[in-house]
Structure 1
Amino acid sequence: MDIFNERKVDPMLIAEMKEPFNNPKWIYELKLDGCRCIAYLDRKSVDLRNKRNLKLLQRFPELKDIFKLVTDRCVLDGELVVMKNGVPDFYELQRRTLLSDPFKIQMAANRYPASFVAYDCLYYEGKEIALTPLLERKEFLKKSFGAETARFAISRYIPENGIGLYNVADQRELEGVVAKRADSLYFMGKRSKDWIKFKRMADEEYIVTGYIYKGKNIYSLVLGRYRNGRLLYKGHITVGVSAGVIKTLVPTGINPFSILPKGNENAIWVAHQVCTVEYMPNTKNSMRQPVFKGIRADIVPEEITEDS
């Protein structure tokens, strides 16, 4: 199977979050607050896909010419980011992924253009290299770039000093650091302990099942997660939920829970979508100061389980 022609790469996933550490057998790079993206590039075209293999280029037209910057046919794993005030802004990126009107998309692209930042190379010069050790893939990644621009760049990494890089990310209020074993292989669709993260702010995905209007333009989303195929009620999130978010939800009138959770008698039940909730981690394994971060169009609700 030629993964360039098949266009069905399922990205490898980060296994877990840990405390920062130093290790000479690991490399460390900044965790960008964006959207995972697989780029299929040759000297004539570009095709961008999210984790659900949905095409993204029509929503990010400012990236239509990045194929001119590669040296050969390649498949790159990376992140789509939108920069605002010098740092990645997930809210602006999430807003872009929900736009469908070409005029509004172009307006947004002009105001806050997106960039593709590559951190892995899975295919180069007609050959799949996913099962080549990471540092060798990093060399292929460099070879695949004829040039870098503000729209198309390579993620930098440092060896050994994960704590130092995390401290830099913390000081600059960036999302965190990804740690990768230097000799790790790329197993598509797998969650590997060879990749872990150190995050300033933790986050988790939940299923949006409905919402409650609380008056004065304040809304709460009703959240759930699956366990053994059954949808479990997981509470509410209010901070960060805007009327604009509510407008994207599609009412169904169907309570998805086997038992109506107390306090949800006035809920408007909606077609399920996935959202990210960001919070300050603590030692009690619970969310502190949770904030709604955005809808995730790249994840299906069935993926959100108590084991994920």
Structure 2
Amino acid sequence: MAALLRRSLPPDQDAYGWELKWDGVRAIAYVEGGSLRLMSRNDKDITRSYPELAALARMLPRPAILDGEIVTLRDGRPSFATLQRRMHVQHPGTRLVASVPVQYYLFDLLHLGDESLLARPYTERRDRLDGLGVDRAPVRVPPWWRGDGETVFSVGQAQGLEGVIGKPLRSRYHPGRRGPWIKVKNVRHQEVVVAGWMPGAGRRADMIGSLVLGVHDDGRLRYAGNVGTGFTEAELRDLAVRLAPLARDEDPFDPPVPRDVARRARWVRPELVGEVAFGEWTPDGILRHPSWRGLRTDKRPEDVHREDPG
């Protein structure tokens, strides 16, 4: 279940339960027979990438399905940049697990034993989750607050967090649906499809200078601009390796990109998904001042659409 982006908090804040928005990777946990299976939003099995989270299965004597976010903390706050070091590694060694530990922030309980909780109201699911007694490392059950979204939003803003999630108190859980949950962000992020790259100049003369980005709209891939900041050299080298086998000759956009972009671009099959922070959308649909945040291996290219607040 996903949340709709809203430009501001709703007038009926008291009708919602409010949670802080964690900057990580969404994962559904299936616990049964003392074992754990973690599935990403695009239905990839990511269990082996986070071996320390197997502790959750040892905490639960009954089968369960739970929803939550895998995060890595830096200076006490979730850091998506730090999480990048884990989310692309299928079999992390003990050294990487120790140096970049993850935590699993649980915020919903969907099934327990033989009982489905999907039709139960949000408040009951949260009460049942709180009663499981699994709030111990590396698993956490963050608090939620009834009403007063402004205070929760202000606290998140002061702590440098991404924003808040509002969930109607009586809402059931709808797998695969966006809404009636809502999200209000402190900063703007957008998932993007990598459709090409531009050669660098100066100290990046032998590297990628910028990525050519797109989003899907009515079944077509639309050009959304270029991003050339926010990368580390290690990320640029990794991207070069990933993009090399995806090379193609044709512009994948509909309509085609502007001529000044087409002259220099090196096209790739639009299969990689990333995320950028940005200022705003221009009137012609281009991301203003985008900055690269990292790859999103948990997202499918066809699911990347322009996300505008309602």
Question: Are residues 1:168 and 2:158 paired?
Answer: no
Pick from 139, 143, 149: which aligns with 1:152? 139
Which residue of the partner structure matches residue 195 of structure 1?
181
Which residue of the partner structure matches residue 7 of structure 2?
18
> Is contact 2:229-2:291 (8 Å) kept?
yes
Q: TM-score, normalised by structure 2?
A: 0.87
Report the Cα distance in structure 2 between the residues aligned to 1:225 and 1:125, rounded to whole angstroms: 41
Change in CA separation of 1:220 and 1:282 when aligned onto 2, cut-off 3 Å: closer
Provide, for residues 118-172 of structure 1, a one-character-per-residue CA deviation record: whole Å limited to 9, x for no partner.
10111012111111111011122123x2332121111210111111111111111
Which residue of the partner structure matches residue 210 of structure 1?
196
| Secondary structure, aligned partner of 2:123 | helix
> Is contact 1:18-1:196 (8 Å) kept?
no
Offset, 1:55: 1.1
Report the Cα distance in structure 1 between the residues aligned to 2:222 and 2:13, rounded to whole angstroms: 39
Provide, for residues 73-109 of structure 1, a one-character-per-residue CA deviation record: whole Å limited to 9, x for no partner.
1100110001112111101222312124543xx3221
- What do you get for the CA RMSD once the two structures are aligned? 2.3
Report the Cα distance in structure 1 between the residues aligned to 2:23 and 2:300, rounded to whole angstroms: 20
Which residue of the partner structure matches residue 274 of structure 1?
273
The farther-off stretch of 152-161 and 281-290 is 281-290
| Secondary structure, aligned partner of 1:113 | coil
List runs of 5+ in structure 2 lacking aligned partners.
none
Offset, 1:289: 3.5
User: For this pair of structures, how many residues does the alignment match?
Assistant: 293
Report the Cα distance in structure 1 between the residues aligned to 2:277 and 2:128, rounded to whole angstroms: 35
Which residue of the partner structure matches residue 181 of structure 1?
168
Which residue of the partner structure matches residue 290 of structure 1?
290
1:92-111 equivalences in 2 (<5 Å):
92-100=82-90, 102-103=92-93, 106-111=94-99
Which residue identity lines up with residue 258 of structure 2 in the other structure?
P
Which residue of the partner structure matches residue 253 of structure 1?
248
Which residue of the partner structure matches residue 6 of structure 1?
none
Which residue of the partner structure matches residue 244 of structure 1?
237
Which residue of the partner structure matches residue 232 of structure 1?
222
Offset, 1:29: 0.8
Q: TM-score, normalised by structure 1?
A: 0.88
Pick from 202, 211, 216: which aligns with 1:221? 211
| Secondary structure, aligned partner of 1:47 | strand
List runs of 5+ in structure 1 lacking aligned partners.
1-11
Which residue of the partner structure matches residue 111 of structure 2?
123
| Secondary structure, aligned partner of 2:290 | strand
Among all aligned residue pairs of Structure 1 and Structure 2, give the percentage whose two residues are the same amino acid: 29
